[in-house]
Amino acid sequence: METQRLTGPEAGGLKYDLLTALSVAGLNGSPTLQTSLMRLIALVTARYNWRADEFSVGQRDMARMWSVNERTVKREIKRLTEARILICKKPGVRGRVGAYALNYTRIAELSESCWPLVGPDFERRMAARYRSVDVKVVQLASYVREADSPETPHVGGAWHSVLADLGRENAGLVNSWFARLRFLGFTRGTLMLSAPSTFVQRYLETHHMPLLIAAVEREMGPVARVEFVAGAT
């Protein structure tokens, strides 16, 4: 599967499908979910920065758009982040405006049962983008031989330290993305991981890899390359 991109010549169709997924999930959900996703769709349509993959809108502006008060905005954002539909990239504290990103994988999980209601073409497109498939980067057998080598250090505990380090800065990002990875080993500067789907792998590679590498290097040492191993989930 090709890398997911929401900018560029084909981005329009991807955005429409994402908004469709949110719409049908809301229409087939509880009244609370319907309201939450309707508000989110309005916000995304009007103010989402697809290039930066985030929206950064003040609570007063959101309250005006949704015709509610700021207390309702706080509750709504809290509800969407706790449901992992939104990822908090920068909390809005001390008068600063927060930044939030859509969690595409969570939106796919939430809406998957509704895809057939839209139509078989929509279901095929969404399945191709978001359902788990094997990622052939290196052969698992090759990894096993190398990982069993006496030169391979035991650094499983260090991976937990990496996640804890990342979580101190942004727990939402860890819960939504990094915690879904399976740590396989760190040998001679090569970090070996397994992702639950191609989409998760590609999204991390294009959006969050520098952050992950920096945290790994603080705990384990210099990273020369990152390999995603097929068939190890």
Give the C-alpha separation, 115 to 18, whole Å. 11
What pLDDT does residue 154 have?
42
Whether the pLDDT of residue 200 is over 90: the answer is: no
What is the per-residue DSSP string for 128-160? HHHS-----SB-HHHHHHHHTSTTS---HHHHH
Does domain 11-130 bear CATH number 1.10.600.10? no
Contact (CB, 8 A) for 129 and 199: yes
214 residue type, one letter: A
Task: Give me the pLDDT at residue 110, please.
Answer: 85
Say what the pLDDT of residue 60 is. 92
Alpha carbons 89 and 231: distance in angstroms, whole number: 31
At 43-100, the pLDDT tens digits run 999 999 988 889 999 999 999 999 999 999 999 999 898 888 999 888 876 667 889 9
Helix 59-66 vs helix 70-82: angle between axes, to the nearest 10 degrees?
100
pLDDT digits (tens, 9 = 90+) for 142-197: 323 333 333 334 445 889 999 998 888 788 888 888 988 999 988 878 899 998 88
**Of 18 and 156, more confident:** 18
Strands 182-187 and 225-228: unpaired
The residue type found at 55 is F
The more confidently predicted of residues 7 and 90 is: 90
pLDDT, residue 156, reads 55
Residue 18: pLDDT band by 50, 70, 90 thresholds?
Answer: very high
Residue-level pLDDT at 46:
94
Residue 142: its pLDDT value, please?
34
pLDDT beyond 50 at 222:
yes
* CA separation for the pair 24, 209 (Å, rounded): 32
Q: Say whether domain 140-228 belongs to CATH 1.10.1740.110.
A: no
In the chain, where are the structural domains located?
11-130, 140-228
pLDDT at 8: 56
Looking at residue 137, what is its pLDDT? 37
Q: What is the pLDDT of residue 35?
A: 92
**Rounded CA gap, 75 and 65, in Å?**
15
Instruction: Return the pLDDT at 21.
Output: 94
Structure-model confidence comparison of residues 40 and 28, the more confident one: 40
pLDDT tens profile 100-131 = 999 888 888 888 888 999 999 999 888 888 76
